[in-house]
Structure 1
Amino acid sequence: MTETVTVWTTVTAPGFHRWPAATGLRSYLADRHRHLFHITAHVAVEHNDRYLEFHDLQDVIRAWWGAGARECGSASCEDLAQDLWNVLEDGYQLSPVRIEVSEDGESGAALTAVD
């Protein structure tokens, strides 16, 4: 078994989105609505001596999210997780292992690296 050391942090940020294709019982989700999104990033590190400081990772996530409530349009939790993954990899040369995005800490999505 190969071990990977990760650090993680969680940021809670307000945002708005909608699911335009929502119908039936969940049709109300087609309208713009607000959540407190809980965003957790797990990033692989190369050694145990603060290769990546937790607070620096929080700053990266907050910069990606932007100030105040973010307008996410029709982006789902899955979309947001993928976008953050790409930002961490491409913009910061970090190695994400897992990204979780939830609506109000109750339900959400996770994007996880597999070997």
Structure 2
Amino acid sequence: MAKTNIIVNLQYEAIHHWPGCDIPEVSFLKDKHRHIFHICCKREVQHDDRDIEIIMFKRKILKFLQSNYNGDFGSMSCEMIANELAYIFKLSYCSVLEDGENGAEIEI
């Protein structure tokens, strides 16, 4: 039997930093810096007639991000953000990219 996922893609503007960076070439990552985080979330559904309404699911994720982080991820990495979203929203997949370029993904 085929597995079906809904997919939501969103962008979230926020800052973060890596205070423990010990790589001289990218030591600037210790300082807070801004990104547009490109986030892709996939969640398995049980049937093909709006088991989870996609627009409402996207809004729920955005509301969570705004309520919990208000544009500041602190020292969280892309990996940490993806893992948290996967856990909170029971995702089968999550990717988090900085400015749509580099980042992390998790598959459950």
Deviation at 1:3, TM superposition (A): 2.7
Cα distance between partner residues in 2 of 1:35 and 1:49: 35
CA RMSD of aligned residues (A): 1.5
Cα distance between partner residues in 1 of 2:75 and 2:15: 9
Cα distance between partner residues in 2 of 1:98 and 1:38: 14
Per the normalisation by structure 2, the TM-score is: 0.91
Cα distance between partner residues in 1 of 2:81 and 2:25: 24
Q: Is the 8 A contact 1:14 1:69 kept in 2?
A: no
Structure 1 residue runs without a partner (length 5+): 90-95
**1:34 — aligned with what?**
34
Per the normalisation by structure 1, the TM-score is: 0.86
Structure 2 residue runs without a partner (length 5+): none
**2:107 — aligned with what?**
112
State how many pairs are aligned. Answer: 106
Task: Spell out structure 1 runs of 4+ moving beyond 6 A.
Answer: none
Residue identity opposite 2:97 in structure 1? S
**1:46 — aligned with what?**
46
**1:98 — aligned with what?**
93
Cα distance between partner residues in 2 of 1:102 and 1:59: 19
